[in-house]
Structure 1
């Protein structure tokens, strides 16, 4: 979802279907400037030598991200061991972006992202719960079996989580993210549904770029 197009009112209309790639999109060669963008200035990476970093830029407030999530989960399970996948919550989409960024990083600090990432999307976009702002988020967490609400509340406003949210904001700028969901590869390349032609094909383009990154 593009920065200029989003409103929470629009999100309340429900999930939008992901466009399926046409045969022509699947068959055409993958090219820089068409299917993906080359960053003018490399973005910082946080992986050791020999590893390829892949970032997914997303927002809990974004219906497209919610619809894309099952595909991402299935795709991540098939990634080779030399790929390091990380999610980056963006500082746009909605009016409580800071809270949503800290929401993600508090879950990450508790080791609960895999378990609760789908649940958060479901709560917002299927159950239509109002999880806007700190108080609403903390109230929802208190009702979740398997989440230590006290620990979450401490982490939610902790220095480390706030710092990670600020870094996420900087990475969003470094990758010149125009909308979500989007993907960044190796600090060098940017892909989204517009560049690739569809979100399905975006993952194919990322697979191609991972191979390119391995070449050096």
Structure 2
């Protein structure tokens, strides 16, 4: 298996070195976004599907979350937004299970930011099943119900599905965003601006363009 957990940090500086200049307002295929060689199926009808591939441990995903959440809210009914927690090695597996367990229990909206804050503000590792169980219980989630779901076949199926989607979308760094099963982009690919926040803002500008493009192609 590729050492996926390391690839984002490499990509942040590596992609910029090989990309020609392009404006976020007029992004170019092969530069600030890529067209997938094989389009992936979507089930969102006339709405545009947007998927974020992310990991809770990733500091860049944590930094991106506020701007991305605001962008999703602004898009409203224009898109259907989904998240995929990437497979990133044994130490991140409990966090991946945590994400899909919260989702299965209908608690993701309530606890998603709290997980990020636990790792990046409180500096909790959440690197073992027991640490995740303890965190869930301390945050008011019924431990037995959480544990049953966490260890269920359903969650195992979601983990396999996440791995398959990473392969299908050629995900080798994160955060990465996919639009309507055809286009992918990321702050490390856009790489416009002197700060990480500026790169994130430029990425969302590219996302606006890609959503409009995908929406027009659905007509």
* TM-score bucket (shorter structure): 0.7 to 0.9
| Superposed counterparts of 1:177-192, under 5 Å | 177-192=171-186
Change (3 A) 1:195 1:130: closer
Question: Please, which runs of 5 or more residues in structure 2 have no aligned partner?
Answer: 10-20, 192-198
SS at match of 1:54: strand
Question: Please, which runs of 5 or more residues in structure 1 have no aligned partner?
Answer: 8-23
| Superposed counterparts of 1:109-188, under 5 Å | 109-145=104-140, 147-188=141-182
Query: Under a length normalisation based on structure 2, what TM-score does the superposition of the two structures give?
Result: 0.82
Equivalent residues of 1:43, 1:171 under 8 A apart: no
SS at match of 2:157: helix
Alpha-carbon displacement from aligned partner over 1:18-39 (angstroms, at most 9, x marks no partner): xxxxxx9766521111110111
Aligned residues: 196
Whole-angstrom distance in 2 between the partners of 1:33 and 1:77: 28
Change (3 A) 1:117 1:158: same
Equivalent residues of 2:8, 2:173 under 8 A apart: no
Which residue number in structure 2 is paired with residue 70 of structure 1? 66
Which residue number in structure 1 is paired with residue 6 of structure 2? 4
Query: Under a length normalisation based on structure 1, what TM-score does the superposition of the two structures give?
Result: 0.83
Whole-angstrom distance in 2 between the partners of 1:169 and 1:5: 16
Which residue number in structure 1 is paired with residue 28 of structure 2? 31
Whole-angstrom distance in 2 between the partners of 1:175 and 1:103: 23
